[in-house]
Structure 1
């Protein structure tokens, strides 16, 4: 009985510490308050500090090996590290509790969040790292920028640290929940369950979309040397980036069922903006157009035709009934059923 009481006391102390270091907006409205600034200080700045340190180390390794693509290794792995540090590592460090005690104070929805981030990040990291090692040289997307005069002298401040800041914004849905109290939304239990199911469904669909896109692209490249335009790639030109967008949106939606602040929706918005207008499909197609026009006229013509036939990111109305699009929706529904079974088993 004494041991149980001691454990309960430690959990209460740990939760009290989380509440003490956070501020929340009132449930009646979502206008910006001084509390929001406090939340940003407790999440955004620590995230930027973590990512800046990791980016500096990555920059040193990238300059040494002349491989800019090493920053892409940090993109998924850094988010996984940050999520686990926020949820478990930071409470252990600040309050002295054990891993099991810290894990016990994480809610089921937050465990889903951590599991989703870990599954997504580990798979993407393995994908990026394996392709990089097999290629044996830098990603062709970065060949042009490396030819710019004085590239390495300015790369840390023009590329690596700015991406660290973007990552800090993207990570809001996976860091803020662990410095906040209970949900700010006055929802019924049934509504909370529906919201959680929506988050799980979005994650499952997005994750399936990424896996299918990467797998089919890899198989296509082993057999042919033209553009991959079949399978899931017949829905949009960049299904992997669409999948990534759905995954990050799911992290914010999941928080609607637990610790929520509207500021965390800056995460999926920042991720979407980065994929559409900075990196992602914009950078990929700009690189493809330059390389194909010079080295592969056949692919260049395919790319021009593909742009006329398919949207870059979001499916057109006619592509919503594409069998592959429906298969992705099915994967989302399967994810909801599996989560329900797991929750019934482990929380009963």
Structure 2
């Protein structure tokens, strides 16, 4: 099915899949006593939607396979990273604070404030992938957008994967206990992983926008960037990191989000 009917099938199947995924993740989180399992399901949800779009869509096959591959590489790496990061640790401080902020049983608060919200965000952010699956082939000058999208995705994936690896190695060294990570990509931006994630989704949107009507889904990467910067990402993390010794100095000399050359120690930098 092409056009609106085909998109409605993909959108409905994607929504159903995400509801099931978040329900299962909530049950697992309730059983083990920590709801940060939702972070593991973040990448997996997008992978599932991308493969549903690939199988159910009848738009340009090359672009469907390309998007499925790029989303799978990104999503599986991220989910594995979050699983390893959270394994053997307690609840994420963000969720501890959130559960304490609202009245009611923790499982109900988690269901409405964490898991349902994440599922809705996954569905909305993945709209470029869903809509692209029923669009015609990319032709002519629009191929520039497709190539640019791949390039932006590569930059973003590199920032995210390399940034995570650098931080993991830094934390694994006992000599760095209590110190602020300010090396490698972390000297250029205080949040290379979040910046990379934003680039990944702008790249995916450019690929989808290379064929009408994918360009209409621009609010999806805008929403993802908002989540990464304001709602659940960098700004929220800085609230807790700001209390650590040395972090204020790190803030003064290192860009908040978009990478810039590091400033010398003791210099000021506006975020």
Q: TM-score, normalised by structure 1?
A: 0.68
Give secondary structure in 2 for the equivalent of 1:210. helix
Aligned to 1:126: 80
**Do the aligned partners of 1:87 and 1:106 also contact (CA within 8 Å) in 2?**
no
User: Cα RMSD between the aligned structures?
Assistant: 2.3
Aligned to 2:44: 77
Distance 2:238 2:159 in 1: 20
Aligned to 1:275: 228
Aligned to 2:160: 210
Task: Trace 1:51-200 onto structure 2 (pairs within 5 A).
Answer: 51-88=18-55, 90=56, 106-133=60-87, 135-148=88-101, 149-150=103-104, 151-182=106-137, 188=140, 191-200=141-150
1:257 aligns with 2:257: no
Distance 1:74 1:255 in 2: 23
Alpha-carbon shift at residue 106 of structure 1 (Å): 4.8
State the Cα deviation string for residues 269-325 of structure 1 (Å, max 9, x = none): 110011111111122222334xxx4xxxxxx23111112222221134x56xxxxxx
Distance 2:163 2:182 in 1: 11
Which of structures 1 and 2 has the bigger CA Rg? 1
Alpha-carbon shift at residue 197 of structure 1 (Å): 1.8
Alpha-carbon shift at residue 206 of structure 1 (Å): 0.6
Aligned to 1:29: none
Alpha-carbon shift at residue 155 of structure 1 (Å): 2.0
Alpha-carbon shift at residue 45 of structure 1 (Å): 4.7
Structure 1: which 5+ runs fail to align?
1-16, 23-38, 92-101, 294-299, 320-348
Aligned to 2:5: 21
Alpha-carbon shift at residue 51 of structure 1 (Å): 1.5
**Do the aligned partners of 1:18 and 1:178 also contact (CA within 8 Å) in 2?**
no
How many residue pairs were aligned?
258
Which runs of at least 4 in structure 1 moved beyond 6 Å after TM superposition?
none
**Do the aligned partners of 1:43 and 1:172 also contact (CA within 8 Å) in 2?**
no
Alpha-carbon shift at residue 259 of structure 1 (Å): 4.9
1:245 aligns with 2:195: no
Cα distance change of structure 1 residues 193 and 182 upon mapping to structure 2, 3 Å threshold: closer
Give secondary structure in 2 for the equivalent of 1:315. coil
Structure 2: which 5+ runs fail to align?
263-271
Alpha-carbon shift at residue 234 of structure 1 (Å): 0.6
